[in-house]
Structure 1
Amino acid sequence: MLASLTSSLNLTGPRTNDRAAGGIVPVGFLQDFRPYIETQMPRLHHWLPFLEWMHELRDPTVLRADLMAGITVALVLIPQSMAYAQLAGLPAYYGLYAALLPPVVAALWGSSRQLATGPVAITSLMTAAALAPFAAAGYDVIPIAIALSLVAGLMQLALGVLRLGFIVDLMSHPVLVGVSSAAAIIIASSQLASLLGISSERSASHFAGVWQVLQTAATGGIVWSALGMGLATMAIIAGFRRWLPRIPGVLAAVVVTTLLAWALDFQGRTVGEVPRGLPPWELPDWKPGLWLDLLGPAALIACVGFIEAISTGKSMALATRTRIDANQELIGQGLAKLAGAVNHGYPVSGSFSRSAVNLASGARTGFSSLVASVAVLVVLLLFTPLLYHLPQATLAATIIMSVSGLVRVRPVLHAWRVARSDALIAIATFGATLVAAPHIEGGILVGIGLSIAVFFAVTMRPRVVVLARHPDGSLRDAERHGLPTCATVLVLRFDGRLYFANAGHLESRVIVELAARPQVRCVVLACGGINSIDATGEEVLAGLVDRLEAKGVRIVFMGLRDRIREVFQRTGLAGRLGAERFVGDERSALDLAGRLAGCAPESCAGCPLAITKG
């Protein structure tokens, strides 16, 4: 980028001064500013990240690849965005509004080159849940959906500017699996009414409404032409996935069912009249009370939407071996929601399915997202009359097929093999999300709460292991491997951070082990796993050392990290014990422990801690 800039400004050319001859001073003098420009480029890229890839478009190969990828993504984006708007409880064409500006802004100010931003299933479901109370109270939900996008965008933008992208780590993989699997079931079941052509009334709970739809269907309320359109859509999408995976099956389904509805005088519900042209660029009216009511739902949409976007972005970055900046992605996603609000859009996020299409189609830069948005613009300006006969059952079937892959059992089974607590968290999150439907934030909060509880339970009660000599010559867990221990030297290992919540646990375990071994005269604390310590941890450990030393039990620290030893030096613990008590290697630590315990050399030959010769 810098090379092209200096070349265009003739920074590398010869410097001449034609002022005396009445000529114009050339721009070569800017060469003096090249060091400054070089130092400012990282800052410029931070505020304008698209500068990192914009110059690559001069390569015809890159430009052609992005054009083809953008067109391919648009063929999926246009029908999907309309379907997801229907899921959000909005007119289908509002999905096109949400697919116009947000992909452009997210591509320009995000850090992922292949991330395709726009309407997505889970965010649309959360939008529908947020709008439901307002719809029940008789409000017009369209301006509320726009305001929801604005508030969520402001929150994400603020988090990005404050560099708080690490919040994504609060939602563990088991929680994501549980939420996404339950959300897929909720989303699919919410489309049953449209798929069957049944008009349903709002119910107190999600599954009460589903039950009402099933009862109506059982009593002959199915519109068979609508169901036929839906099943045809599913068959077309499934067929294209199987035999023509490079062609967007959803587009083929939309075209075929729309033509059939027009030709056969379809009696089911269709999209209907779609306004031609662009919506007015304006923000919703400012009503303080209403905006306060949106803070909670907007915060959850901002967090879940970001997690969805950053997870997708990381997958794309891994596939392309590029980097992704969580804070920059927050800024990009926040600005995208703000742009959507200005353009009458509702909350958007990064779409995994469309990002995968974008990557598979050869996208090299964010320009592919700009191409996709231009395609949406063309549809809004020229082709909206063609959408009149698009059956709503087609959109419902599109949604069902889109989320069918989100129900995942294999990750839960894998988590069970790794850590059963993680599998139980995934199952509990799944159940809580279903119970709270359509308000999936209830399941999210349950999952995060359980994850935090398990984290504290593990860190507050870490394993303190008694070590003994294994036949292979290493020190291992004596209880697990059934190894004999030394009568006079006790070797203990503590792994993890030593802090206020678990320092007492370490102290208790040392006391319990010494009570069971009254002949022990020296304790070797294997400290290689202690990566940090706080004031409480140091105070408890120092107090334990002082009490044991007073009773004639010596302490040796083995493999202590330098930064922990520096803490002990500052607090005086190292000075009280002496430098010889802090030993780096295992052999030296055990030799010292034997001497401190008063072991006779001949008795150590058969000691369980002795290193086997040969």
Structure 2
Amino acid sequence: MRPNLLNSFFPFLRWFPLSGDQLRGDLIAGITVALVLVPQSMAYAQLAGLPVVYGLYASFMPVIVASLWGSLPQLHTGPVAMLSLMSAAAVLPLAAIGSEDFIVLSVMLALMVGVLRLVLGLLRMGILVNFLSSPVIVGFTNAAALIIGLSQLSKILNVPFPRTDNFVLDLWTVVEQLPQTHLPTLLFAIATFAIILGARRVIPKIPGVLLAVVLTTLVSWGIAFERNQLVPIDALQDQEARELATGYASTARAIDSLGVTTARMNQELRTLINADDPERFNELALLEADLRVLNREMNQRKLANNERQVALHNLRFEHVLSEDGQDLFYRHGKVPDAVDADGHTWRINTVDGDQIKMMGGGAVVGAIPAGLPSFQMPEMRMDFFWTLLPSALVMALIGFMEATSISKAIAAQTRERVDTSKELVGQGLANIVGSFFSSYTVSGSFSRSAVAAKNGAKTGLFAIISAIAVMLVLLFLTPLLYHLPQAVLAVIVMMAVFGLINLRSLVRAWKIERQEAVVGMITFLATLAMAPQLANGILLGAGLAIILFLVRTMKPRTDILGRLPDGSLGGISINKVEPIGKRFMAVRFDGSLNFVNASRFEDVLLEARSQNPQARAVLIDGSGINDVDVTGEERLRDVIETFRDNGVELYFCSLKAQVYETLHRGRLFDLLDESHFIRTRQRALAFMEETFDDDDSTHPPAPAVGPSTPVLG
């Protein structure tokens, strides 16, 4: 196999032979990135609605595969904030967050995203990203950053964050719970902000994220920040609390049952649709109606339980130990005089069946399963495949767009060449292989890639070193992360995503092209309004951008030309000048002449003729016409014949070679001889003035149908 072909299949062979300086740079960069990767991956896993260990799983095999088959050596692949939130939003309507089904569907979604990216890469379809205009991307990114950041607010306040189909209402529920803020949790969050910002200024060589994780974990362990008790519902010595908890548990069981029923009915529905049997049409319609009723009932029950969850969390309890050693919880201020409470304020954290988790402190990461992820085939739930497919496609494109922008930014500094299609292949393989090791969707990370480039990464070996560090954490260090406050992880996410907010780009777009800026603003507002379904926001923005492009294509800039005071030519409508000729007109058409705007071309010429009825000829400045299709050529023939019937001749100047050849092949020269095609605008104007504006010339020359000498510059 030839070396070039071998390198195309195994791009990591380009790393070798490694020099001492390269190995040293990769080692330092890999260790530095690992210090940022471990806490980031845990935070992003929670953002995806998964246990924190799945963030570490996503930072192991996918990192290695992407580095081996990627295009840019300094690009670091792994969990990222935007795709983590999009993953949660895609799976949340189909399974309860944190449940086994939720995990299975998240891994399945990673496999789907990987396959889509791999196929796009093999077909060299990286160009698809061009359908997303810059204002659309900026609008979506700004909205997504806000949504991701604000979704962490509940962890900083330590209050429930009910997840429904309306992010704004969910966020308002969190804001309404501000009086219930857990002060120690808030102090941990503030301290994390201060440590990360302070480290950037005072000791920039030490990752502030790592420093914050180490210090807050030690403090959390030292003060026993976590204080939990798992007790039966009967341990609540309050009638209102018991009724709320019992109602929550009962409704949760009903929701699970409805979920199983709707999943079965969805499968039956798809079977009927695929069968395409007209005799079973009534059965299909009844099944769809029943499914709508059940979905509506399930959503109502979820909303009811969200309200119960908030109401339960707002209750405050005191813990006492009965004479027979049982844990009892009385409402605050209602403890019997003869009983001594432990002095702590307790809240109801979760209700699981007949058990209640009481929280007397703050939320921490908790126990993380030790050991590496095992190799296992991702479970394919085909009844959810078509539901997840639109989100998978959008995530494949958004993740690729994010990785490409990162790669190009770093490549501009390192002078590396980025092959977007190869990067798609590398990202696709990373997600596919990762899904076999319990990884959720991954992509290129801007922050970790920037850290790698800054610390001297030369090859993709640095990413493999960071993955080995994660492996060591999984094998030996997970117990040390038990007491890490969840508020710290929330702050890490917030600070990472708020740096993505970029208002200057929208302001600049407003100055350049207001219509595009409006599309960007609509994308921003739509993404916020449709959250957590972020895919819908960017699909709307992309659709509006394409519509705007088509409208512009349908109505290209056209104008009658006039002479400006300095002698140059310009449009009469913009510059408020008189048309250039008395008995002829010069018209400029800035756009390709095709089926989209052929009617516009005819309308412009007819309108120009109506404004100057004494004109005997029309000169079309074709310098802005890049190509002509069949419809455009046919419409052009119709215009020539219509104008000729009214005694008006059409002439062309400054046509591009490809346009001239197209018209020649289309036999337009059966209507016009070559004297009607003039190479330069100056010669064309001189010819038109001499032929039509000469005082002795009252009629245009008879059109020549046969061969003649063209008037060329």
Q: TM-score range by the shorter chain?
A: 0.7 to 0.9
Where does residue 450 of structure 1 map in the other structure?
544
Q: Distance in 2 between matches of 1:235 and 1:74?
A: 22
Q: TM-score, normalised by structure 2?
A: 0.76
Structure 2 counterparts to residues 360-379 of structure 1, below 5 A? 360-379=454-473
In the alignment, does 2:221 pair up with 1:262? yes
The answer to whether residue 555 in structure 2 is matched with residue 594 in structure 1 is no
**3-state SS, counterpart of residue 51 of structure 2:** coil
1:159 pairs, out of 104, 120, 128, with 120
- Structure 1 residues 566 and 202 mapped into 2: Cα distance closer, same or farther (>3 Å)? closer
Which ranges of structure 1 fall in alignment gaps of 5 or more residues? 1-36, 604-614
2:41 is aligned with 1:50: no
- Which residue in 1 is equivalent to 2:558? 464
Residue 467 of structure 1 and its aligned partner are, at CA, apart by 1.6
Measure the CA separation in 1 of the matches of 2:201 and 2:697.
Answer: 75
Considering Cα pairs closer than 8 Å and 6+ residues apart, tell me whether 1 or 2 has the greater RCO: 2
Indicate whether 1:534 and 2:652 are aligned.
no
The Cα of 1:600 is off from its aligned counterpart by: 4.2
Q: 1:74 aligned to 17, 29, 34, which one?
A: 34
**Counterpart amino acid of residue 503 in structure 1:** A
Describe how 1:15-94 pairs up with structure 2 within 5 A: 40-51=2-13, 53-55=14-16, 57-94=17-54
For 1:369 and 1:229, locate their aligned partners in 2 and report how far apart those are by CA, in whole Å: 31
- What is the alpha-carbon distance in structure 2 between the residues aligned to residue 552 and residue 588 of structure 1? 23
Aligned mates of 2:697, 2:203 — CA distance in 1? 79
Note if contact 2:584-2:693 (Cα within 8 Å) is conserved in structure 1: no
- AA partner of residue 285 (structure 1): E
Residues 274 and 388 of structure 1 are in contact (CA less than 8 Å); yes or no, is this contact kept in structure 2?
Answer: yes
Answer yes or no: is 1:501 the counterpart of 2:501: no
Letter matched to residue 535 of structure 2? E
How far apart in 2 are the matches of 1:406 and 1:141? 28
Alignment of 1:394-405 (within 5 A): 394-405=488-499
Aligned residues: 561
Secondary structure class of the residue paired with 1:70: helix
TM-superposed deviation, 1:401? 0.9
Give secondary structure in 1 for the equivalent of 2:511. helix
Q: CA deviation at 1:309?
A: 1.3
1:30 corresponds in structure 2 to none
Q: CA deviation at 1:416?
A: 0.5
- Of 95, 99, 120, the residue aligned with 2:55 is 95
The answer to whether residue 184 in structure 2 is matched with residue 225 in structure 1 is yes
Confirm whether residue 175 of structure 1 aligns to residue 136 of structure 2: yes
SS at match of 1:406: coil
Paired residue for 2:680? 585
8 A Cα contact 1:193 1:200, kept in partner? yes
| Structure 2 counterpart of 1:15 | none
Aligned to 2:203: 244
2:430 to 308, 318, 336: 336
Secondary structure in 2 aligned to 1:140? helix
Question: What CA distance in whole angstroms lies between the structure 2 residues aligned with 1:456 and 1:538?
Answer: 20
Deviations 1:435-476 (A, max 9, x none): 111111121111011101111111101111222223333222
1:565 to 2:663 alignment: no
How far does the alpha carbon of each residue in 1:352-392 deviate from its partner, in whole angstroms, 9 at most, with x for none? Answer: 12122222222222222122112211211221111111111
Give the conservation status (yes or no) of the 8 Å contact 1:556–1:593.
no
Q: Please state whether the residue corresponding to 2:11 is helix, strand or coil.
A: coil
- Per-residue deviation, 1:583: 1.7
SS at match of 2:610: helix
Please name the residue that 1:118 is paired with.
78
CA distance in 1, matches of 2:217, 2:370: 18
TM alignment of 1:345-356, pairs within 5 A:
345-356=439-450
Q: Report the 3-state secondary structure (helix = DSSP H, G, I; strand = E; otherwise coil) of the residue aligned with 1:270.
A: coil
SS of the counterpart of 1:556? strand
Structure 1 outlier segments of 4+, above 4 Å: 600-603
Contact in 1 for aligned 2:96/2:102 (Cα 8 Å): no
Measure how far apart 1:297 and its partner are: 2.2
8 Å contact kept, 2:116–2:428:
yes
- The match for 2:365 is 271
Corresponding residue SS for 1:117: strand
Q: 1:591 to 1:396 in 2, by over 3 A?
A: same
CA contact (8 A) 1:305 1:350 kept: yes
Q: 2:621–2:652: 8 Å Cα contact kept in structure 1?
A: yes
Q: State how far apart, in whole Å, the 2-side matches of 1:99 and 1:133 are.
A: 26
The 5 A counterparts of 1:186-205 are: 186-205=147-166
Give the TM-score of the pair, scaled to structure 1.
Answer: 0.88
User: In 2, Cα distance between the equivalents of 1:245 and 1:520?
Assistant: 74
Distance 2:591 2:161 in 1: 55
Is the Cα–Cα contact under 8 Å of residues 110 and 333 in structure 1 kept in the other structure?
A: yes
2:91 is the alignment partner of 1:131:
yes
**Deviation readout 1:518-550 (Å, 9 max, x if unpaired):** 121221111111111111111111211222233
Aligned to 2:567: 473
- Report SS of the residue matched to 2:172: helix
Deviations, residues 21-79 of structure 1 (Å, cap 9, x unaligned): xxxxxxxxxxxxxxxx6xx444333322223x312x52222222222222221111111
Residues 249-258 or 484-493, more deviating: 484-493
Deviations 1:390-412 (A, max 9, x none): 11110011111111122221111
SS in 1 for 2:397: helix
C-alpha displacement of 1:202: 3.7
CA–CA separation in structure 1 for the residues paired with 2:690 and 2:645: 18
Greater radius of gyration (CA) = 2
Q: Aligned partners of 2:537 and 2:387: how far apart in 1?
A: 20
Superposition deviation, residue 575 in structure 1 = 4.5
Q: Separation in 2 of the partners of 1:516 and 1:68?
A: 74
Partner of 1:520: 615
1:593 to partner: Cα distance: 1.9
CA contact (8 A) 2:165 2:531 kept: no
* 1:58 counterpart SS class: coil
Matched with 1:17 is none
Which residue of structure 1 lines up, in the alignment, with residue 170 of structure 2? 209
1:112-171 residue CA offsets vs partner (Å, 9 max, x unmatched): 222111101110000111121233496531121111111111111111112211110111
Question: Gapped runs of 5+ residues in structure 2?
Answer: 227-361, 699-713
Task: Provide the C-alpha distance between the structure 1 equivalents of 2:584 and 2:75, rounded to a whole number of angstroms.
Answer: 58
- Following superposition, the deviation at residue 101 of structure 1 comes to 1.4
Q: Does 1:302 align with 2:432?
A: no
Relative to structure 1, the CA distance from residue 375 to residue 462 in structure 2 (aligned partners, 3 Å threshold; closer, same or farther) is: same
Question: Percent of counterpart pairs with the same letter?
Answer: 43
Contact (CA 8 Å) 1:569, 1:575: kept in 2 or not?
A: no
Alignment partners' CA distance in 2, 1:474 and 1:364 = 55
- Paired with 2:140 and 2:662, the residues of 1 have a C-alpha distance of 43
Classify the secondary structure of the residue corresponding to 2:556: coil
Instruction: Indicate the residue corresponding to 2:647 in structure 1.
Output: 552
Q: Which amino acid aligns with 2:673?
A: G
Report SS of the residue matched to 1:356: helix
What one-letter code is carried by the residue in structure 2 that aligns with 1:129?
Answer: A
> Aligned partners of 2:639 and 2:689: how far apart in 1?
21
Aligned partners of 2:593 and 2:632 also within 8 Å: yes
User: 1 CA distance for matches of 2:696 and 2:75?
Assistant: 68
Q: Is the 8 A contact 1:66 1:365 kept in 2?
A: yes
Matched residue SS, 1:273: coil
Query: Is 1:283 matched with 2:380?
Result: no
